[in-house]
Amino acid sequence: MARDYYAILGVPRDASADQIKRAYRKLARELHPDVNPDKAAAQRFQEVTAAYEVLTDPQKRQIVDLGGDPLEPAGRAAGGDPFAGFGFGDIMDAFFGAGAGPGARRGPRSRVQSGSDALIRLQLTLEECASGASRELTVDTAVLCNECSGSGCAPGTRPQTCDTCGGAGEVQNVQRTFLGQVMTSRPCPVCRGIGEVIPYPCRQCGGDGRIRARRNVTAKVPAGVGDGMRIRLAGQGEVGPGGGPPGDLYVEVQEVPHETFTRDGADLHCTVRVPMTAAALGTTVMLDTLDGTEEVRVEPGTQCATVLTLRGRGMPRLRSTGRAEGRGDLFVHLDVVTPTRLDARQIELLRELAILRGEEQAELTVNGRAGSLFSRLRDTLGGR
């Protein structure tokens, strides 16, 4: 059982430093061998002095609060468990070093590391997204150093074993804790865990094995891509440290807004303004689509907000097998325009037309039934 140093001094576990000091002085005056020659008092004085030294040391007091005994080499905690208050990871770190445990890496790590991915943005028009494109891109990434071929060493030299860790990539430290003497391992600060040092680094890359350079790559954009989509070019990214394998290059598409069409996936939408007379009499509109000029028929009596659908005149469906034509649709929204400026003759003609159609006065339609609001209300109340 761990000794209760608080009980030895007669203070609570949350006692302040002043309380511990006053309790010790009081007991020391009673138990000091110069004052009390009794052998039991001398032994008690030693226990009180040891308890005072433990509780006035923040680190030792923390061990006591965790259930341990800082004066016991085995550091047994209350209840006979020497590891009480410590998690499994803390115990593994104490005995085997940081990162110990199942699957932990031991020994030196490789200088050669995989490279990172790179990203470049490419602006495309709607037409280019529809047809696909092939672009030559200039990218600025890390490439293999052509002087040392990725080794990081000056010509004619080689890496040498690290003197600090002896090539192990780790340094060990022995510490005395309440568990006794434990050994911890950490990556070597000189070689950074590699186990080797480069005494004569390459002048061009400084020992990294790679340099920054601009180069050209060809990006083939498939038909049907859209804004925000990314195209992966494998192995065209950053070369890794030590000349490691490169990552990938991602080309992100930025679609330029079109002056006529708006896009909704594979479907396209556009708005065509039709004069009131043309909507009433019917007309033909010539519309420029992705496939050329299309003739769009506006039927007589067409109402505002009518939508005409041109099947298969939208965007290509990217890698889609759901539809035979593999294309979206083009939706033409008709906006019937009412004239705002009329001359005297036009006003006279419209009034004649209104008289002929009996439309001199507008009628309120409720649920598809004509009549004024008051007449509809009167009919409703009269039917009760």
Contacting residues for 161 by C-beta, under 8 A, at least 6 apart: 167, 195, 196, 197
**One domain, residues 239 and 123:** yes
Pick the last residue of a domain from 85, 103, 128. Answer: 85
331 φ, ψ (degrees, to nearest 5): -105, 120
Task: For residue 35, name the pLDDT band (cuts at 50, 70, 90).
Answer: confident
- 108 in a structural domain: no
Q: What is the pLDDT at residue 90?
A: 41
Q: In the prediction, which pLDDT does 322 show?
A: 44
pTM for the model stands at 0.62
Same domain for 321 and 360, yes or no, is no
Q: Is the pLDDT of residue 103 over 70?
A: no
Q: Show Cβ contacts of residue 66 under 8 Å, excluding neighbours closer than 6 positions.
A: 77, 84, 85, 86
Percent of the chain having pLDDT more than 90? 47
Residues 204 and 305 both lie in one domain: no
Q: What is the dihedral of CA 286, 263, 218, 131, to 10 degrees?
A: -30
Is the domain of 129 the same as that of 231?
Answer: yes
166 in a structural domain: no
Q: 32 with 9, same domain?
A: yes
Mean pLDDT of 325-352: 91
pLDDT reported for residue 307: 96
| 128 and 237 housed in the same domain | yes
State whether 243 and 335 are in the same domain.
no
Residue 167 falls inside a structural domain:
no
Give yes or no for residue 380 having a pLDDT over 90: no
pLDDT tens-digit readout, 1-29: 568 889 999 999 888 988 998 898 888 88
Residues 266 and 308 in one domain: yes
From 190-194, 297-301, 357-361, the region with the lowest mean pLDDT? 357-361
**To which residue do tokens 């649920």 refer?**
367
CATH classification at residue 138 = 2.60.260.20
Q: What is the pLDDT of residue 89?
A: 40
Regarding predicted confidence, which is higher, 37 or 83? Answer: 37
Same domain, 40 and 124: no
Judge contact between 335 and 304, C-beta under 8 A.
Answer: yes
Number of domains in the chain: 4
Instruction: Indicate if 352 and 242 belong to the same structural domain.
Output: no
Consecutive H or E run containing 8: helix 5-9
Confirm whether 205 is domain-assigned. Answer: yes
Same domain, 238 and 275: no
Question: Considering the domain boundaries, does residue 127 fall inside one?
Answer: yes
- Same domain as 275, residue 300: yes
pLDDT 10s digits, 38-73: 888 888 888 888 888 889 888 888 888 877 777 765
Share the mean pLDDT of the chain: 82
112 located within any domain: no
Q: Three-state DSSP class for 241? A: helix
CATH number at residue 19: 1.10.287.110
The DSSP code sequence of 318-366 is: TT--SSSS-B--EEEEEEEEPPS---HHHHHHHHHHHHHTT-SS---EE
Q: Please check whether residue 177 lies inside any domain of the structure.
A: no
Rounded mean pLDDT, 254-275 = 95
- 146 CA to centre of own chain: 35
What is the extent of the structural domain holding 211?
Answer: 118-159+198-255
Residue 168 located in a structural domain: no
Residue 94 pLDDT > 60, yes or no?
A: no
